[in-house]
Copies of this chain bind each other. A is one copy, B any other.
Amino acid sequence: MSAALESMELLCVTDATLTPEEREAGATFAPKFDAAGLLTAVVVDHADSTVLVVAHMNEEALAATLATGKVHFWSRSRGALWMKGETSGHVLAVESIAVDCDQDALLIRAAPAGPTCHTGARSCFYRQIESRDGEPVLVRTDA
């Protein structure tokens, strides 16, 4: 999709009884929420595919994302819907959304208006595991 995402209404197909073949190969969008009502969303920078953040969406967050073209998540810790950037201004403007084979994860390409991580880092993945004497330690990669 070259332009930003067109506004869409999420219909209630989430409980559709699709066959495995329809779910994996068909054209019906039937997101599979887990027992807690959530699916996983990975957001990458549209410009260079850098993974910015991994978070969760419930049906409400997904519907809001599709309707507005701005990434919304469900906060498990706060038990609340939130638009990414609603306080910082660093919204994520959706360019495209892909779904995986079993429709329980989304891959969102977006244009970030600023650093995505609440720590101020561009991406939440700013530390890498390295081995120190055979044990994992974290080393910053954004310095």
Residue A80 is within 8 A (CB to CB) of chain B in the complex: no
Residue A28 is within 8 A (CB to CB) of chain B in the complex: yes
Residue A137 is within 8 A (CB to CB) of chain B in the complex: yes
CA distance A62 to B63 in the complex (A): 33
CA distance A124 to B106 in the complex (A): 10
Q: Scoring A residues 62 to 80 as 1 if CB is less than 8 Å from chain B, else 0, what string do you get?
A: 0000100000000010000
Cross-chain contact A105 with B54 (CB below 8 angstroms): yes
Q: Scoring A residues 83 to 98 as 1 if CB is less than 8 Å from chain B, else 0, what string do you get?
A: 0000000000000111
CB proximity of A68 to chain B, nearest CB, Å: 14
Q: Chain B contacts of A54 at CB under 8 A?
A: 40, 42, 100, 105, 107
